[in-house]
């Protein structure tokens, strides 16, 4: 039986664990700023300049940044079993995050700063209903994009990181929610921006996540064997496919699997991210990446 995702029991939480989490998060953000973001001390600007210097095309630079991030991120994920045996689960998670996070920040900042460069293919931002469609699509995409954040203490290596066989909540809809969420996000942003840079970013991100579907299934099969096969038989990559063909049996109180703190947190953060768009845009612009 697959694990119950997004389960959060307040009575089981330790104050000390969340104090450690806050300390680790603060330390990581401070190190990220000093070593990568701050132009006077970090290497982020030099990295982005080196990549963008390969070609005058913003589309090419965007794809190269995504390719570098995808190679490192998926490569380290593929080495997880070996790495954890060599240095332990917590140390490998720190290594994984320490390398992946700066590359992700560079890619996101470059996209924000150059999202309106390139060739404009269409302009539908003033068309009635498009803003609402894009907003709703992005809101939904975040519920698919971030199931891995259900265990924040594992993400920060406060608790020992694990590979989970989730099956409840969003996992009943699709076994690979991050891929589905990324596709929705990319299609919505490409529709809204309507140019070649947005399309290039979408091609790169969707391609990376489609590879992640194969790689993720492969890694789970290696680690869990027949247990994974059983889970795979009851779930699907295509959203709702396992439900429609009867392989995934929904309980009567299925909706309760979404009335949990992690989903409420995603809702709050998604709304916050929408209203924080001007701050993110101005912060990215000030970096001149």
Task: Answer yes or no: is 4 within a domain.
Answer: no
Q: How many domains does the chain have?
A: 1
pTM of the model: 0.92
Which pLDDT tens digit goes with each residue over 94-152? 999 999 999 999 999 999 999 999 999 999 999 999 999 999 999 999 989 876 567 88
pLDDT of residue 155: 84
Q: Does 248 reside within a domain?
A: yes
Q: Cα(28)–Cα(97) distance, rounded to whole angstroms?
A: 9
Residue 185 lies in a domain: yes
Q: Which residues contact 278 (CB under 8 A, 6 or more apart)?
A: none
CA atoms within 13 A on the CB side of 46: 8
2 belongs to a structural domain: no
Residue 1 lies in a domain: no
Q: Answer whether residue 190 is part of any domain.
A: yes
pLDDT digit string (tens) for 237-288?
Answer: 999 999 999 999 999 999 999 888 888 888 998 999 899 999 999 999 999 8
The pLDDT of residue 156 = 84
241 falls within a domain: yes
* Structure-token pair, residue 170: 């969003």
How many other CB atoms are there within 10 angstroms of residue 122's CB atom? 11
Average pLDDT over residues 45-68: 96
b/e per residue, 144-165, with b = 16+ CB within 10 A?
Answer: bbbbeebbbbbbbbbbebebbb
Q: Where are the beta strands (DSSP E) in 105-239?
A: none
Position with higher pLDDT, 6 vs 278: 278
Asked whether residue 3 is assigned to any structural domain, the reply reads no
Range of the domain at 237: 10-287
Q: Judge contact between 81 and 161, C-beta under 8 A.
A: no
| pLDDT per residue as tens digits for the range 138-189 | 999 998 987 656 788 888 888 888 888 999 999 999 999 999 999 999 999 9
């Amino acid at each position: 039986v697959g694990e119950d995702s997004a389960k959060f029991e307040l009575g089981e939480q330790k104050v000390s664990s969340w104090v450690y989490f806050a300390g680790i998060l603060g330390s990581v953000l401070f190190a990220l700023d000093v070593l990568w973001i701050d132009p006077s001390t970090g290497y982020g600007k030099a990295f982005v300049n080196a990549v963008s210097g390969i070609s005058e095309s913003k589309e090419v630079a965007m794809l190269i940044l995504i390719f570098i991030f995808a190679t490192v991120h998926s490569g380290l994920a593929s080495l997880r079993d070996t790495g954890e045996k060599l240095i332990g689960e917590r140390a490998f998670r720190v290594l994984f995050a320490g390398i992946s996070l700066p590359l992700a920040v560079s890619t996101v900042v470059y996209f924000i700063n150059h999202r309106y460069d390139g060739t404009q293919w269409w302009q539908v931002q003033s068309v009635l209903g498009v803003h609402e469609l894009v907003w709703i699509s992005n809101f939904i995409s975040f519920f698919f994009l971030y199931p891995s954040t259900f265990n924040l203490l594992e993400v920060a290596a406060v608790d020992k990181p694990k590979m989970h066989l989730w099956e409840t909540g969003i996992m009943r809809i699709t076994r690979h929610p991050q891929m589905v969420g990324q596709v929705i996000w990319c299609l919505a942003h490409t529709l809204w921006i309507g140019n070649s840079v947005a399309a290039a970013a979408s091609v790169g991100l969707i391609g990376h996540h489609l590879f992640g579907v194969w790689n993720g299934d492969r890694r789970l099969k290696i680690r869990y064997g027949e247990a994974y096969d059983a889970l795979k038989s009851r779930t699907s990559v295509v959203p709702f496919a396992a439900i429609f063909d009867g392989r995934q049996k929904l309980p009567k109180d299925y909706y309760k699997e979404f009335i949990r703190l992690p989903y409420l947190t995603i809702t709050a953060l998604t709304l916050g991210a929408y209203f924080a768009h001007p701050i993110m845009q101005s912060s990215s612009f000030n970096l001149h990446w």
